[in-house]
Amino acid sequence: MKRWTRSDAAAALLFLAPSVAGFALFYLIPFAAGVYDSFLDRPVGGRFVGLENYGELVAGGSFRKAASNTFYFTAVSVPLIIGLSLGLALLLNRKMYIRNMLRTAYVLPLVVPVASVVLIWQMLFDWNGSLNAWLGYFGLERVDWMKTEAARHVVMVIYLWKNVGYNMILFLAGLQQIPSDYYETARLEGAGRLRQFVGITLVYLTPTMFFVVIMSITGSFKIFRETYLIAGDYPHDSIYTLQHYMNNMFMTLEMQKLTAAATLMAGCILLVVFALFALERRFRQFME
């Protein structure tokens, strides 16, 4: 026992204990309670009804609309942010005069308060905002950005603007870990830029790539704050997501639908994450 208490594992557990206790108290235990409540007919003194709440949830048109919008947003915005952040990382990995200034500029959205960000975007995309003023200046028709299908693209732009800097820093760290000798050897053997990118850069960026994909998918579910502050409780149908649905269920105290929707969303995220880890493992085995 004394030997174990003096080991590195014991020290690590002692340091992790406060964080684990806080995570369990504020996240894990409430989530488990929510999963349990999703199988009851009411929060207090309820009886077990099985999958009845989930059946009613899936049968509802509002939930299906919110789920389809969320899936569309994730399926489109995540590949866009991966490609954009990787391209910026490749650009800033070269020697440039203003490289440090560009790095700072791309990271700034991470530290700007959400309320300030929303105020700026409202000024840009309002009916009488700056963007419509420029469209009128060039003789083009104004666009009601937040009350038409264009709202979906506005939210995607906000998501890209806010998160591309974080992903870029991760890719940049991964690129700087690749030895330059590999590229020099490839050039001596006649490999072009594309062959070097596919055979060296993408291969050694695989762990970083999978981590960025997971973080981007998770971040795509966190766009609710900006959307809510810009468009309110009931935005245009194209940006009505699962977070809006759950927020409205909370406001009307329909706790069974809320917990069922939260459980389904968490389950889908876990399935995607496990699938990505399995894909990464197989890719590593294939490369070895």
What is each CA distance from 280 to 8, 144, 184, in whole angstroms? 29, 43, 27
Is 139 inside any structural domain?
A: yes
Q: 152-186: per-residue pLDDT in tens?
A: 888 888 888 888 888 888 898 888 888 888 888 88
- How far is Cα 210 from Cα 277, in angstroms, rounded to an integer? 8
Give CA torsion, residues 183, 186, 191, 193, to 10 deg: 0
* Domains held by the chain: number: 1
Token reading at 256? 């069974």
Is 83 inside any structural domain?
A: yes
CATH of the domain at 150: 1.10.3720.10
Token reading at 74? 């994730």
Top-confidence range, 39-43, 184-188, 258-262 = 258-262
- How far is Cα 274 from Cα 206, in angstroms, rounded to an integer? 16
Is 228 inside any structural domain?
A: yes
Is 135 inside any structural domain?
A: yes
Q: How confident is the model at residue 100 (pLDDT cuts 50, 70, 90)?
A: low
Is 283 inside any structural domain?
A: yes
Residue 218 domain boundaries = 61-287
Averaged confidence pLDDT in the chain? 82
